Amino acid sequence: QKEVEQNSGPLSVPEGAIASLNCTYSDRGSQSFFWYRQYSGKSPELIMFIYSNGDKEDGRFTAQLNKASQYVSLLIRDSQPSDSATYLCAVTRGGADGLTFGKGTHLIIQP
C-alpha cells in the first residue's frame, strides 16, 4: 500500500517568515515528487517538482528531497497572505502511473 503522509495542520506562519511543509512516503520505488497548491473550491495547481536528492529552488519556493529518508519538503520564503492554501504532496514511480497524494497541509499566513 503506497502512502504519503502530511501533517494536516493548520500551520500558522507570520507574514514574511519561512513556511516549512513536510511529507514522507512509503514506496521506495518512488521517482518523482510534486508539490501542488490548492485554494478552497479550486483544483490543484503545480508549484514545484523534484526528481533528484537535494534542493531545487524556484523564486520563493525551495523543494528538498531525501530519498534515503523518504522525505520531501517545501520551503516558502517571505510568506504572503496569498500563500494561504492547502499544500498537497504527491509522488509517483513514473512512467504512465498516476500520483499518490497526501491529504494536504492547511497553511495560514497571518498578516
Partner 1 sequence: DVKVTQSSRYLVKRTGEKVFLECVQDMDHENMFWYRQDPGLGLRLIYFSYDVKMKEKGDIPEGYSVSREKKERFSLILESASTNQTSMYLCASRRTDRGNQPQHFGDGTRLSIL
Residues that bind partner 1 (CB under 8 A): 31-32, 34, 36, 42-46, 49, 51, 88, 90, 92, 94-104
Contact 107, 88 (CB under 8 A): no
Question: In angstroms, what is the minimal distance from the CB of 26 to partner 1?
Answer: 14
Residue with cell 516558502: 76
Measured from the CB atom, the residue of 71 and 101 that comes closer to partner 1 is 101
- Supply the minimum distance, in Å, between the C-beta of residue 48 and partner 1: 9
- Min dist CB 15 to partner 1, Å, is 28
Nearer of residues 37 and 62 to partner 1, judged by Cβ: 37
Between 14 and 94, whose beta carbon lies closer to partner 1? 94
Q: How many CB atoms lie within 10 A of CB 63?
A: 22
User: Degrees (nearest 5) of the Cα angle 99, 36, 21?
Assistant: 105
State the nearest-atom distance from the C-beta of 80 to partner 1, in Å: 23
Which set of grid coordinates corresponds to residue 100?
Answer: 499518490
- Of 11 and 99, the one with the shorter C-beta distance to partner 1 is 99
Q: How many CA atoms lie within 13 A of 73 on its CB side?
A: 12
Cell of 84: 494561504
